[in-house]
Amino acid sequence: MKTYRNYVATWVMLFLACLASLLFGAGTLELGQAFAVLTGQGTEDARFVVMELRLPRLVIGMATGLALGVAGALLQTLTRNPLAEPGLLGVSAGSAFAVSLAILLGASTATLTTLISQVGALAGCGLVVAATRIQGAGQDPVRLVLAGATLTGLLLSLSSLLMLIDQRAADEIRFWITGSLAGKRWDQLTATMPSLLLAGAIVVGVARPLASLALGEKVAMGLGHKPGLIRLMVIVAVALLVGGATALAGPLVFVGLVVPFVARSLAGADIRKTLWLCLPIGPAMIIAADTLSRLLVTPSEMPLGVITAVIGAPVLMVIIRARRIPAL
C-alpha cells in the first residue's frame, strides 16, 4: 500500500514539475497565454514559445534526469557504494572531456557528439569499476569519491588546456561544461534517443541478475548468473546513459546521487523497486531544477549544474551523516 502511494506521489510531482516548466520561464510570455496554449488555444507567438522553446527543453530535461537517475542507481548497486555517482566518480567528466576534444576538433553534429560522449563515459566507467576492484581502496566509498573528484579535476584541467588553445571552441565548451538545458532543439534528442532506448533495454534485462549480484558475487553465481557478464552489461548501460545525458545537458553532478537516494529511501534496498521509482523522480528533479534556474535570476539564467550542485551537496552530507558507511 505504501509503495503504491509513493508511486502515485512521485508521478504527481513529475506532472506538476512539467506543468511549471511549461508555464514559467524567461521571455515575455504571460502565464495565462502559456496556459491557453496548453488547452489548445493561444496566439501564434505563444505557441512558438511553448511548443518550440519550452517543450523540447522539457522533454530533453526528462530524458537527462531519467538517464542520470537510473545510471546512478545502477552504479551504486554494482559498486555497493551509496556515494557512487557518475558525476562524482568522474564518468560525466570523462564524457565531457571527450566532447570538449570533439568540439575543439570541429565536430558539430549532434549524433557524433553523443557517440563521442558515450565513448568518454565508457572509459570513465571502466576506470571506476577497475578502481572498485582494487583491494582496500575500492571498498572504501570515500576514497573512491575522492579519486573521482581528482579524476574530474584532472579532466577539467585538460579541458581548460584545450580551451586556452582555441578561443572559439572555448566559448562553446564553457557554456556547455556547466550543464544547461537552454537552447536545446529536437534534433539533439533524436540523436540521443536510440542509445538511450538501447540502454533501457539492457536495464530491463539486467535488473534481476543485478539484484542477486548485490547479495555478493558467490551468491549470484550460485543462483546461476554470470557476474562478469552482468558487470559488463551494467557498465555499458551506465556509459550509454551518462554519455547520452552529458551530450544533451553537459556534465551534471549530484543528480545520480540524489535521485537514487530519494528512490531508495522510499522503496528500500531492492534495486528493481528503486529503478521503478527513479523513472519519475529523475525527470522531476531535473525539470524542477531547470525551472528554478530560469526563475531565480530572471531575465538571465543560472546554469543548471549550479542548481543540482546546491541541491546535491546537502544530500551528500545527509547520506554521510545518516549511514554508517564502511570505513567511515
Partner 1 sequence: MNSSLDSTDTGQTPLHLTPGHWLWRSTTRHWSLLINKRSIVVNATLTLILLACALSSLALGTLSITIPDVILALQGKGTTMHTFVLEELRGPRLLAGALAGASFALAGCLMQTLARNRLATPGIIGIDNAATAFAVASVVGVGISAAPHTMALVGAAVATALAFGLAGATGTRGYRFIIAGLAIGAVSGAITQVMLSSVALDDANAAYPWTVGSLNARAPAAVNALIIGLIVGYTLSLFLNRALATLQLPEPVTASLGTRSGRVRVAGLILSVLLTGLAVSVAGPVGLIALLGPELARTISRPGSIPLTASALSGAILMVLSDLAGRLVFSPLEIPVGIIAALAGSPYLLWILLHKSPDINR
Residues 121-180 that bind partner 1 (CB under 8 A): 131, 134, 136-138, 142-143, 145-147, 149-151, 153-154, 156-158, 160-161, 164-165, 171, 178
Min dist. Cβ of residue 134 to partner 1 (A) = 5
Nearer to partner 1, 42 or 179 (CB): 179
Report yes or no: 52 and 187 within 8 Å, Cβ to Cβ: no
Minimum distance from CB of 127 to partner 1 (Å)?
A: 9
Q: Which conformational region is residue 108 in: left (phi greater than 0), alpha (psi within -120 to 50 degrees), or beta?
A: alpha
Sign of CA dihedral 260, 262, 263, 264: positive
Nearer to partner 1, 236 or 320 (CB): 320
Give the C-alpha distances (Å, rounded to integers) separating 263 from 3, 92, 257, 266.
Answer: 11, 21, 10, 5
Write out the three cell numbers for 241: 546513459
- With beta carbons less than 8 A apart as the criterion, state whether 141 and 325 touch: yes
CB atoms within 10 A of CB 297: 11
Distance CA 1, CA 7 (A): 10
The residue (of 251 and 260) whose beta carbon lies closer to partner 1 is: 251
Sign of the alpha-carbon torsion through 135, 140, 145, 147: negative
- Minimum CB separation of residue 126 from partner 1 in Å reads 14
Compare residues 21 and 152 and give the one whose CB is closer to partner 1: 152
- Cα atoms in the Cβ-side hemisphere of radius 13 Å centred on 121: 32
CA distance 237 to 78: 12
Q: Does 259 bind partner 1 (CB under 8 A)?
A: no
What does the per-residue mask of binding to partner 1 show for 66-105, with x meaning CB under 8 A? Answer: ----------------------------------------
All cell numbers assigned to 271: 534495486
Under rule CB under 8 A, residue 268 binds partner 1: no
| Cβ distance to partner 1 smaller for residue 21 or 308 | 308
Interactions with partner 1, residue window 225-254 (CB under 8 A): 253-254
Closest by alpha carbon to 121, among 5, 237, 275, 37? 237
Kindly state whether residue 181 participates in binding partner 1, applying the rule CB under 8 A.
no
Q: Give the binding site for partner 1 (CB under 8 A).
A: 131, 134, 136-138, 142-143, 145-147, 149-151, 153-154, 156-158, 160-161, 164-165, 171, 178, 253-254, 297, 300, 302-303, 305-306, 309-310, 312-314, 316-317, 320-321, 327-328
